[in-house]
Structure 1
Amino acid sequence: MRRSPKRDHPVTFRQRRDAAHVFVERPPLSGSGTDATREDDADQPLPGGAMKKLIRSLQALNGKGRKVTKRAGGRFLIAPAPNLRLDFLLPATGTAPAEDAPPLVISYGTRDGEYDLYAERLRQSCSGEGIASDIDTIPPCGRANACLFKPSFIKFKLLTHNRPVVWVDADAVLTGPIDLPGGGWDVGTLDNSRHAETNPKAALCIAFRPTLGALRFLETWEHLCSEPWLKPGLDHARFNDTRAILVNTYSEIDLTAALSGKLVRDLGKKKEARV
């Protein structure tokens, strides 16, 4: 097999699949001392071998040889790309659909000596109510980064566990069991008791079932949170923007009655309140 010659400055690719082009990045040439030189170099045509590799990658993204993943004989949803159709495997005979599995509480807190302790408190409250949970910590970061990471984390956990997940903010605690309603819904929401005129639904507690509608909702929300310069606001505002953008394209259910009296938000803070 013929090997391509080594390059002193290898080319790397970063694909923006929600755009109509591909960005190409190169390290600066040795001896280049100005930004203009680096920008001119980045505009040069790709080498022939690199272009062929890029074309093969794009062909793979456009649906040739889509992969499905089998997990423990049940239905499993693979992580989607915006231009790919999601694939499902039907559940094995005698097994319950993934959408009807018991819910799993998910959350994270930053390892800053405060929110990591909140996350552990939430985990213990779930354990005390007999509720399964998967609660992580993430590296310390600013409030905006911690908040805007939320949809990416939820999507990852939904795809990993392939069962209904209930996001709960780390500084909240559960004081009762969670019984999600049946039916063919995708996203479950709570009425917002604060600033309801601008954000009618709260992002402190949201349920998602492993469905196409839920995944498309999460990917849209994730996109809005990955572009913080689009508008002011954090995860709550962008969550409600997502609801407005996708209206009538997914099924939403109100969980306010089902969770009433079972959740305390901002425990130990001045704005502490029972949902």
Structure 2
Amino acid sequence: MDLKMNGQVAVVTGPAKGMGAAITRAFAEEGVDLALFGRDTGAIEPVAEACRAMGRAVEIVACDVTDAAMVEAGIARVFERFGRIDILVNVAGGTGPIGKSGIETTPEEFDEIVSLNVGGPFHMIRAIAPIMQRQRYGKIVNVGGTFGMRGKAGRLSYSSSKWGLRGLTKSFALELGPDNINVNCVAPGMVAGPRFHTKVVPEMAARLGITEEEAAQRHADDYALKRVSTDEDIAAATLFLASDVSRQITGVDLPVDGGWAAL
């Protein structure tokens, strides 16, 4: 599908694997040049090479998104090379403690995941927004999660951080809208990636004494569409919100979860 994005420049955080890699490749297929931000530049390189093979210009930037100074330096480097930034996709994030109650969660664990999942996007938007304001154009897509829409026992830190990201999205949407900048959030549910197949499904199968195939089906049965999302599903939703097809949409949370958040 030609979304008329050819020649645009996108900054993507967390592009090395999973949905981040799928999003990065999807942008490259639409003709978008890329600046890829992450701590492990070696892990990013294979994705970057795949995008270069499609004819795209790619800049890899070593950056910890929780470090505001590193973010600002990285964005300055990207702007120096490309002369503009049209799109920002904040994928980088973490899961935090799993299976711990809020009382069991340490202050350090809570602060760490909030700093990454809320502070990282804040630093990135704060550094890029002035460039987009001067251009009078920009698309910002934050990758949240459905636990930031319904909450989840045993995932207090992660859920809190994704609720915070929703507030960040809506406030920036209001502040940057007059400058023709759209700010939205994609909220994946369970995604059938490496963690799902190697951790989530085997743990459920062992706990319930069922096969892994049965465990995977139990997850799918939780959703209206009776299937688990893929990385490519998340990439498609991100492309939609980063293109002018969605020019009149801002400040929204778009669940990509097969209907889980709606049930």
TM-score, normalised relative to structure 1: 0.29
Larger Rg: 1
Structure with more of its chain in helix, by fraction: 2
TM-score, normalised relative to structure 2: 0.30
